Structure 1
Amino acid sequence: MEKGLVHIYTGDGKGKTTSAIGLGIRAFGRGFKVLLAQFLKGMDTGELHVLKNLGPNFEVYRHKNVKGFFWNMSDEQKAELKKSVREGFQHVKEEIEKDKWDMVILDEIMGTIHNQLIDTREVVELIKNKPDKLELVLTGRNAPKELIELADYVSEISAIKHPWQQGIKARKGIEF
């Protein structure tokens, strides 16, 4: 690819990760090498069962120590998570520097910023210094305006109606 662009999937609606992974699958189908780095996600999700079979040209990286939702964590768990997120972000930066990926997806990176685990300036720097051919995809609620301004594509997914509003819990194969 001549010029890689920056995508953001944000908003309070369902489908940000699904959209990013769908884009990754499309790219993989055209011969791209894709790295999916998932932040703030530790539970087993259905897409992982498929993605692990795609081989080394579609790699999934998940950092350790995710023990539930951030707002339910103790201060000690938050400190462990911050350390793990920092290590994960460093790993992603090192992978990008190797210049072997055509697309890198930073899933829930906005959540790491919102919860002050990573500073917005670090992600701005990552975007500004990415290899020219790298397609970079960022997901999560509350995308900072600095990132929106740098991005080439910004899609906001809004929750108009969701089953949880009627008390229906997350369903295997649909939400996870």
Structure 2
Amino acid sequence: MDPEFFEQLAMPLFDQLYNFAHWLTGDRTDAEDLVQETYAKALKGFRSFQQGTNLRAWMYRILRNTFHTSRTGLAAQNTSSLEEEEAQGNAVTAHTVTPELLLLQQEDQQTVLKALAALPVPYREIILLCEVEELSYREIAQVLDVPIGTVMSRLSRARTALRQPQKTNPLGRPIDARTL
């Protein structure tokens, strides 16, 4: 297929794909690399795309698969340095109304980011695809290559995990609820 046709169809998805990649990787540079690699793979495999099917789900699937096989995938997501955590905790937004409001917003944002980061990757992706990227259950099922029932089940478990207080071991590290 024509690369210009691919560009016309795929480029409007760039911001959405970048946002999802940033949520997955937690790093702007890694997210940019992931999206760039996603577009390169999609362009290369565009002949296999069937016109009339869901391009958005196809692109998300490529991004997700690329993430899982990349250096920033599952293994890298299980580690973080204290310096990175401190830097994230000290980030200050330039737009402020009052110092109190800024502090409250920052605490809320950090709480959400920590809760998402504590989720296992399959739960984090399902929350992001549903709540942030607003994909339908059918689109999520296509992206993850699972039945819709699995999407609903994982989404339910992910939401339950987000509602529960974070349990930690004596070293302060999160405890995986599935091992209890």
Larger-gyration structure (1/2): 2
Higher-helix-fraction structure: 2
Greater relative CO, 1 or 2 (CA 8 Å, sep 6+): 1
TM-score by length of structure 2 reads: 0.25
TM-score by length of structure 1 reads: 0.25
